[in-house]
Amino acid sequence: MSQKIQAIRGMNDILPQQTPYWQKLEAILRQLMASYGYNEIRMPIVEKTSLFKRAVGEVTDIVEKEMYTFDDRNGDSLSLRPEGTASCVRAGIEHGLLYNQEQRLWYMGPMFRHERPQKGRYRQFHQLGVETFGIATPDVDAELILMTARLWKALGINDSVRLEINSLGSNEVRAEYRDALVAFLTPIKDQLDEDSQKRLQTNPLRILDSKNPQTQELVADAPKLVDYLDQESKEHFARLCQILDANGIEYQVNQNLVRGLDYYNRTVFEWITDKLGAQGTICAGGRYDGLTEQLGGHATTASGFAMGIERIVSLMEELAPIEISDADVYMVALGDAAEINAMQLAEILRDEMPSLRIRANFAGGNFKKQFKKADKSGAKVALVLGEQEVNDQTVGIKFLREHKEQLLVSQSEITQQLKQILEI
Ligand code: ATP
Ligand code: MG
The string of DSSP codes covering 200-256 is HHH-GGGGGG---HHHHHHHHTSPPGGGG--HHHHHHHHHHHHHHHHTT---EE-TT
Confidence at 167, pLDDT banded by 50, 70, 90: very high
Q: Is the pLDDT of residue 267 over 80?
A: yes
Q: Is the pLDDT of residue 283 over 90?
A: yes
Pocket test for ligand 1, best of 119, 125, 128, 276 (most atoms within 8 A of CB): 125
Residues 345 and 413 in one domain: yes
CA of 156 to the centre of ligand 1 (A): 22
**pLDDT tens by residue, 86-114:** 999 999 999 999 999 999 999 999 999 99
Residues 287 and 380 in one domain: no
The reply to whether 245 falls in a domain is yes
- Return d(Cα 284, Cα 128) in angstroms, integer: 11
Residues 304 and 416 in one domain: no
Pocket test for ligand 1, best of 87, 114, 151, 279 (most atoms within 8 A of CB): 279
Is residue 37 classed exposed, middle or buried when 0-12, 13-18 and 19+ CB atoms within 10 A define those classes? exposed
CA of 308 to the centre of ligand 1 (A): 6
Residues 289 and 416 in one domain: no
Q: Is the pLDDT of residue 260 over 90?
A: no
Domain boundary among 319, 345, 378: 319
CA of 111 to the centre of ligand 1 (A): 10
CA of 122 to the centre of ligand 2 (A): 10
Residues 42 and 125 in one domain: yes
Domain boundary among 258, 284, 319: 319
Query: How are beta strands 281-287 and 302-308 bridged, if at all?
Result: antiparallel
In 10 A of CB 10, how many CB atoms? 17
The reply to whether 178 falls in a domain is no
Quote the pLDDT of residue 57: 87
Residues 301 and 161 in one domain: yes
Residue 361 near residue 329, CB atoms below 8 Å: no
| Average pLDDT over every residue of 238-244 | 98
The CATH number given to whatever domain includes residue 46 is 3.30.930.10
Which residues of 120-182 form beta strands (DSSP E)?
Answer: 124-133, 161-167
**pLDDT tens by residue, 182-237:** 999 999 999 999 989 988 988 899 898 888 999 999 999 999 999 999 999 999 99
Among 213, 221, 142, which Cα is nearest to 181's? 221
Longest Cα–Cα distance in the chain: 94
The reply to whether 12 falls in a domain is no
Residues 339 and 313 in one domain: no
Q: Is the pLDDT of residue 122 over 90?
A: yes
CB within 8 Å of 69: residues ≥ 6 apart: 49, 77, 78, 79
Domain boundary among 279, 297, 319: 319
Residues 242 and 151 in one domain: yes
Residue 118 near residue 279, CB atoms below 8 Å: yes
Confidence at 407, pLDDT banded by 50, 70, 90: very high
The reply to whether 2 falls in a domain is no
The reply to whether 57 falls in a domain is yes
CA of 399 to the centre of ligand 1 (A): 46
Residues 301 and 364 in one domain: no
| Average pLDDT over every residue of 135-144 | 98
Ligand 1 atom nearest the C-alpha of 305 is: 14
CB within 8 Å of 420: residues ≥ 6 apart: none
Q: Is the pLDDT of residue 261 over 80?
A: no
Quote the pLDDT of residue 272: 97
The CATH number given to whatever domain includes residue 336 is 3.40.50.800
CA-nearest residue for atom 21, ligand 1, is 308
* Residue 404 domain boundaries: 329-422
The reply to whether 181 falls in a domain is no
Ligand 1 atom nearest the C-alpha of 127 is: 16
Confidence at 276, pLDDT banded by 50, 70, 90: very high
Give the total number of structural domains in the chain.
2
Ligand 1 pocket, residues with Cβ under 6 angstroms? 83, 113, 115, 120-122, 125, 127, 260, 279, 281-284, 306, 308, 310-311
The reply to whether 211 falls in a domain is no
Residues 312 and 400 in one domain: no
Quote the pLDDT of residue 275: 94
Q: Is the pLDDT of residue 258 over 90?
A: no
The reply to whether 194 falls in a domain is no
CA of 118 to the centre of ligand 2 (A): 12
Residues 132 and 156 in one domain: yes
Report the percent of the chain where pLDDT is more than 70.
Answer: 100
Report the percent of the chain where pLDDT is more than 90.
Answer: 90
Among 193, 195, 186, which Cα is nearest to 213's? 193
Residues 88 and 159 in one domain: yes
Pocket test for ligand 1, best of 8, 121, 281, 314 (most atoms within 8 A of CB): 281
Calculate the average pLDDT of the chain. 95
CA-nearest residue for atom 7, ligand 1, is 260
